[in-house]
Structure 1
């Protein structure tokens, strides 16, 4: 007799969880993107680093509003969940972090993230990835989270490492950027991995 493998996370759990808001130790917060954030999202497409490493295309404010609406529709469809990394109390976004390719049945998802210049230099993205990881593994119940990035993107590699994602290997010629095909690093964090280490002097590290 074939015994069916149960779903790791039952359907409806992501959509029913709402869209949580998190405060980060650096003073920023993670919150849903709002229609009024569309100009910032459109602006992000012109940042050279974001354009190079993330391939967001070019958005008008109207197209950005449509993308924000699609993100909410995809959250309700349990396909992805995306946060703005923003100044507190509904302030201006300075970045994005989210989970894409969500597979509730298989218990996995992949991170995407970027920061505008105004959000860089504070350790915000490592904190954001650690906090979302904690929520995804402990509250949502996923089993495995992954991060992939070009081997040339040392900033993204540092974020993954600091957020507790072990380097598992290199995917050869895996992603096409404007300057050609790039090898990619594969990082992952799974249920039972130790939380990321807290740096000296840090309080409230979100991965602990």
Structure 2
């Protein structure tokens, strides 16, 4: 599918970019250099401009392949990258996905994650017809737990070091 932009009220959701008009790579590098970010988003290493470029290009490919809808959470007047939100592990036939969200270290504590995730979930349930969305996070990541609760997820598994939450569409258990 083609990427879509979403008006999330205070923020807008758009594709990650690295072009002559808007370049998210410096903010990606800063976010991925943060020790807290690295602790809770350990599967990606974005430590060079080349790696940041590959990250942006990879997100674009995932949209086209219907594998992941990923948005830069952007400040509406400047377009500055504030974080990223997505619906990953998309299975459009089964109507399932897993939510993911992170916020740039300089922007934390402003409610950005919950606002962005709520907008992405509306898209997932409305436009994509998802039946349920899971959300996983490290049990020590208390801000992620707060985001899950604020977005209406129900805790379904708290065993071990990871918590798993689920949000179902109306009428789906």
TM-score > 0.5 by shorter chain: yes
C-alpha RMSD of matched pairs (Å): 1.5
Please point out which of 192, 195, 204 is paired with 2:170.
192
Question: Which runs of 5 or more structure 1 residues have no equivalent in the other structure?
Answer: 1-14, 173-182, 194-208
- After TM superposition, the structure 1 = structure 2 runs for residues 116-131 of structure 1, keeping only pairs within 5 Å, are 116-131=104-119
Question: Per-residue deviation at 1:115?
Answer: 0.7
Residue in structure 2 matching 1:44, options 17, 31, 37: 31
Residue 168 of structure 1 pairs with residue 156 of structure 2 = yes
Partner of 1:20: 4
Structure 1 position 139 matched with structure 2 position 139: no
Give the Cα–Cα distance (whole angstroms) in 2 for the partners of residues 119 and 128 of structure 1: 13
SS in 2 for 1:148: strand
- After superposition, the C-alpha distances for 1:113-138 in whole angstroms (9 at most, x for unaligned) are 11113322221111111111111011
Structure showing greater radius of gyration is 1
Q: Where in structure 2 are there 5+ consecutive unaligned residues?
A: none
For residue 185 of structure 1, report the CA deviation from its aligned partner. Answer: 0.9
Q: What secondary structure sits across from 1:140 in the alignment? A: coil
Shift of 1:90: 5.0
Q: Deviations over 1:38-95 (max 9, x none)?
A: 1211221111211111113242112211211111111101111111111114521011
State how many pairs are aligned. 166
CA contact (8 A) 2:32 2:46 kept: yes
Give distance in 2, aligned partners of 1:59 and 1:83: 20
| Paired residues of 1:87 and 1:94 also in contact (CA < 8 A) | yes
Q: Return the alpha-carbon distance in structure 2 between the equivalents of residues 185 and 141 of structure 1.
A: 25
Q: Distance in 1 between matches of 2:83 and 2:112?
A: 9
Structure 2-normalised TM-score?
Answer: 0.89
- 1:30-179 counterparts in 2 under 5 A? 30-35=13-18, 36-55=23-42, 56-172=44-160
